[in-house]
Amino acid sequence: MQNLSCFFIFFLLTNRLSAQTTLQGRILDGRGRALPGANVFIKGSYDGANADSSGAFRFQTGRRDTATLVVTYVGFDNYAQKLILTGSPMDLKVTMTESANELNTVVITAGAFEASDSKRMTMLKAMDIVNIAGAAADITSAINFMPGAQRVGEQAGLFVRGGSNLEAKVIIDGLIVQNPFFSSLPDIQQRGRFNPFQFKGTSFSTGGYSAQYGQALSSVLLLNTTDKGSQDGVSLSMNLASTGVTYDNATEKSSVSATAYYGDLRPLFALVKQNVEWQKAPSYGGGSLTYRYQPTKNGMIKAYGMYSDSRLSMIFRDPGQASPANELGRTLLNQNNRNLFINSTYTDSWDEGKWSLNTGFSYSHDTDDMMMGQYDFSRLNQRTQVRAVLTRALPGNSQLLFGTEFHSIKLGNTVFGNRYTLTDQYAATFAELQLYASRKLAIQLGVRGEYTSIIDRFNVAPRLSMAYKTGSYSQVSLGAGQFYQTPDYNYLFLNQSLHYERADHLILNYQIIKNKRTFRFETFYKNYAQLVRELPNPGDVSGFDRNTGPDNPYRFPTGVTNNAGKGYAQGFDVFWRDEKSIKGFDYWVTYSYVDTKRLFRNYTMLATPTFVSNHNLSLITRRYFEKIRTNLSLTYAYTSGRPYYNPNRPEGEFLTDRTPQVHNVSLSANYITRFKGNFVVLYASVDNVLNTRNVFTYRYTADRNGGPRKTRYAVGPTTYRSFFVGGLIMLGKKAKVDLNKL
């Protein structure tokens, strides 16, 4: 009996002791390297240990039967394994998978040049764009220094890879901007209307862009506005052109920012010699209101409205108006432009980000009351649009999105006092799938369908993008697709049976970002089809309009038009940035090459268009001098010669003349200080430091008898060497510091 009870006790004791299972092993990554300090434990119990420096661990657990072993390590996905614990020791080898991060996951980039603070694989930060000397804090001017952009000094807009300014659209928060630039004036490059500090990210697409956007044969400039602000206070700004005041207020859920400004360029024109004959220097006034509201955790309402009114009067040369009494064709131009722009978006996501919705509404109304000589050339531009995009996140970083947009457009154009109007309804739907076949390979497939009521036609366009990660810091990508665009409205006033113009793109890109150095190489081929061609008027001698050159901005085509035009564009660009080699010094170099020919508009044969320069080179340098708290930037821009129309040439030599090369060196500086406890920034810039007499194009004056002309005059910048100074002061107790506000 006693023996039995002893045995019983002994049995219980050994059972109790062997209730502890010893677990040991090693924690390794995918390449067999140890993960020191990994956390290894039994889920729901206190039993566990830290892996040592060789990844080895050992601990005991009192759990029996089933248990889950959990291993966690920073930068890796959590590991879980079901175990059957019987009391006998277990030897485990655990291999952990790295979490998706910048170094191991590819990002689709072909055809897009990004400047953003939060996205990965971007070339620049948002404020990098604004600090470029020569850009005068204007986003679109800054884009002219990016790879793929071509500088055209006397016209507003973006000219990308051989495309005209009508082929590049500016898009804010997904909505097309009807009038992103101030009203065009003959031979003057107008600024963009937007303050660059409104934007947190810029994506300059040089082609092959997503199915979410359309109606741009060459490129889209995607601008994303900032989210809720945090400033409180008032700031005053004053410079040689204008004065302005801004009021900011932020609460936990919302923020408001209101700006009012007034400008008059007379003081500036008195100090800086103008090449333009102003009768009345531009004066302008306006205001804007920005409102942000966060109704739910992930929801955001953004509303932006701006209004501006500007007046000016100038004398310009129009060879088309030349007469024996007025050989130079000097014409008086009076312009009063009023522009209203409202842009509002609502975004939200739910189910832990599985679904997200992006909706937007925008309204713009722009009128130009304009007289050229004694003729009325007024214009009206109105666009209302709505847009909605629904995105569904799929496992493994993939996503699927559907969207639709609807626009209503009204245009009015007065030519020599004759008024033309048209209305157009445009609708589009699109779908896009972004798939990560593996961490290293991503594919984006999209399709876009559009309908335009004024020409009563549909189109369907496929889009494709692929990217493959060649190493931790580098990747290659490909972009391809078809792009349709409704012909220029100037043609549609008289011919509403035209087809869409079309471009097919193919883009290949390689980039590497390592150790604060960036190298990017991109090559492209574009095929243009169905471009609008103007057939020669029966009365013309050579088939080419002798009175005006091919790119007079006020030309109103009156001849017969069709879609028989075509063309091609090919080339490459290179981008190199180095923030490391020289301490505190940041520089980048871009070189773009394009070879392109087109037969379109009133061209008589396939030729390189007048807005194309084959070579564009930019060098941008920046340095922050801490002791004097000053930021200095020096820029050099080179643009090779552009074709211009010479009526003295025989027909076979159409557009074979080239203007001389353009060189421009600019310098800018900004200085930060405090005045009576308020934050102050002072800035100054000099453009065209070397006072180079640049020529953008030539025009030929009229001959007394109306025959071929021999005398030409040069069209150049509105000023040669010029300078600009200004300052900003931020008042108010809670004014937060804005390091980069200039």
Partner 1 sequence: MKTLVISLIAALLGATIPVLAQSEQYKQAMAAAIGTTKTQSMTTSPADILASANQFERIASVETKEWLPHYYSGLAYVYLGFMGKDATEKDAYLDKADANLKAAEAVTNNDELATLKAYIAQARMVVDPMSRWQQYGPLFEAGIEKAMKLNPENPRPYVLKGSSLMYTPEQFGGGATNACPLLKTAKEKFATFKPASDMHPNWGQKQIEPMLEKCK
Q: How far is the CB of 740 from partner 1 (least distance, A)?
A: 8
* Cβ atoms 214, 429 nearer than 8 A: no
Q: How far is the CB of 669 from partner 1 (least distance, A)?
A: 17
* Cβ atoms 613, 161 nearer than 8 A: no
Identity (one letter) of the amino acid at 360?
A: G
Exposure string over 343-376, b if 16+ CB within 10 A, otherwise e: bbbbbbbeeeeeebebbbbbbbbbbbbbbbbeee
Binding-site size for partner 1 (CB under 8 A) equals 44
> What sign results for the dihedral spanned by CA atoms 168, 171, 177, 181?
negative
Q: How far is the CB of 486 from partner 1 (least distance, A)?
A: 38
Nearer to partner 1 among residue 52 and residue 376 (C-beta): 52
Choosing from 28, 34, 56, 70, the residue that interacts with partner 1 (CB under 8 A) is 70
d(CA 188, CA 169): 19
d(CA 667, CA 204): 24
Nearer to partner 1 among residue 71 and residue 454 (C-beta): 71
Nearer to partner 1 among residue 126 and residue 139 (C-beta): 126
Nearer to partner 1 among residue 75 and residue 462 (C-beta): 75
Q: Give the closest residue to 645 by CA, choosing from 556, 569, 568, 542.
A: 542
Q: How far is the CB of 58 from partner 1 (least distance, A)?
A: 15
Q: How far is CA 11 from CA 7, 14, 18, 19, 63, in A?
A: 6, 5, 11, 12, 19
Nearer to partner 1 among residue 41 and residue 724 (C-beta): 41
* Cβ atoms 736, 230 nearer than 8 A: yes
3-state secondary structure 640-695: CCCEECCCCCCHHHCCCEECCCEEEEEEEEEEEEEECCEEEEEEEEEECCCCCCCC
- Residues 109-148, one symbol each (x = binds partner 1 by CB under 8 A, - = not), give --------xx------xxx---------------------
Kindly report the length of the chain: 742
Choosing from 101, 423, 656, 691, the residue that interacts with partner 1 (CB under 8 A) is 101
Determine the interface stretch with partner 1 among 94-102, 389-397, 427-435, 691-699 (rule: CB under 8 A). Answer: 94-102
Nearer to partner 1 among residue 570 and residue 678 (C-beta): 678
Q: Give the closest residue to 149 by CA, choosing from 712, 649, 487, 591.
A: 591
Q: How far is the CB of 437 from partner 1 (least distance, A)?
A: 24
600: Cβ contacts below 8 Å, ≥ 6 apart: 528, 531, 532, 533, 565, 566, 567, 609
Q: How far is the CB of 182 from partner 1 (least distance, A)?
A: 28
> What sign results for the dihedral spanned by CA atoms 161, 189, 485, 356?
positive
Q: How far is the CB of 192 from partner 1 (least distance, A)?
A: 22
- Residues 234-273, one symbol each (x = binds partner 1 by CB under 8 A, - = not), give ----------------x-x---------------------
Nearer to partner 1 among residue 251 and residue 275 (C-beta): 251
343: Cβ contacts below 8 Å, ≥ 6 apart: 172, 173, 175, 177, 303, 304, 305, 360, 361, 362
Nearer to partner 1 among residue 41 and residue 603 (C-beta): 41
- Between strands 330-350 and 300-317, the pairing is antiparallel
Q: How far is the CB of 685 from partner 1 (least distance, A)?
A: 21
* Cβ atoms 562, 110 nearer than 8 A: no
Q: How far is the CB of 35 from partner 1 (least distance, A)?
A: 11
Nearer to partner 1 among residue 291 and residue 420 (C-beta): 291
- Residues 361-400, one symbol each (x = binds partner 1 by CB under 8 A, - = not), give ----------------------------------------
Nearer to partner 1 among residue 126 and residue 411 (C-beta): 126
d(CA 509, CA 206): 12
Q: Give the closest residue to 661 by CA, choosing from 230, 276, 18, 151.
A: 151
Q: Under rule CB under 8 A, which residues in 3-62 are in contact with partner 1? A: 5, 9, 12-13, 16, 36-37, 39, 41, 43-46, 48, 50, 53
Q: How far is the CB of 730 from partner 1 (least distance, A)?
A: 10
Residue 710 touches partner 1, criterion: CB under 8 A: no
Nearer to partner 1 among residue 420 and residue 671 (C-beta): 671
Q: Under rule CB under 8 A, which residues in 624-643 are in contact with partner 1? A: 629
Q: Under rule CB under 8 A, which residues in 669-688 are in contact with partner 1? A: 672-674, 679
3-state class of 8 per DSSP?
A: helix
3-state class of 141 per DSSP?
A: helix
* Cβ atoms 741, 683 nearer than 8 A: no
Residue 605 touches partner 1, criterion: CB under 8 A: no
Choosing from 80, 84, 103, 564, the residue that interacts with partner 1 (CB under 8 A) is 103
233: Cβ contacts below 8 Å, ≥ 6 apart: 247, 248, 730, 731, 732, 733, 734, 735
d(CA 647, CA 546): 7
Choosing from 75, 471, 660, 706, the residue that interacts with partner 1 (CB under 8 A) is 75
Choosing from 77, 91, 102, 277, the residue that interacts with partner 1 (CB under 8 A) is 102
Q: How far is the CB of 164 from partner 1 (least distance, A)?
A: 35
Q: Under rule CB under 8 A, which residues in 464-503 are in contact with partner 1? A: none
Residue 736 touches partner 1, criterion: CB under 8 A: yes
Residue 72 touches partner 1, criterion: CB under 8 A: yes
Identity (one letter) of the amino acid at 468?
A: Y
- Residues 211-230, one symbol each (x = binds partner 1 by CB under 8 A, - = not), give ---------------x-x-x
d(CA 177, CA 191): 14
Residue 77 touches partner 1, criterion: CB under 8 A: no
Nearer to partner 1 among residue 80 and residue 437 (C-beta): 80
Nearer to partner 1 among residue 250 and residue 312 (C-beta): 250
Nearer to partner 1 among residue 297 and residue 323 (C-beta): 297
* Cβ atoms 137, 589 nearer than 8 A: no
d(CA 150, CA 714): 20
Determine the interface stretch with partner 1 among 82-90, 100-108, 135-143, 212-220 (rule: CB under 8 A). Answer: 100-108
Q: Give the closest residue to 153 by CA, choosing from 703, 736, 693, 533.
A: 693
d(CA 110, CA 465): 7
The binding site for partner 1 (CB under 8 A) comprises 2, 5, 9, 12-13, 16, 36-37, 39, 41, 43-46, 48, 50, 53, 70, 72, 74-75, 99, 101-103, 117-118, 125-127, 200, 226, 228, 230, 250, 252, 629, 672-674, 679, 736-737, 739
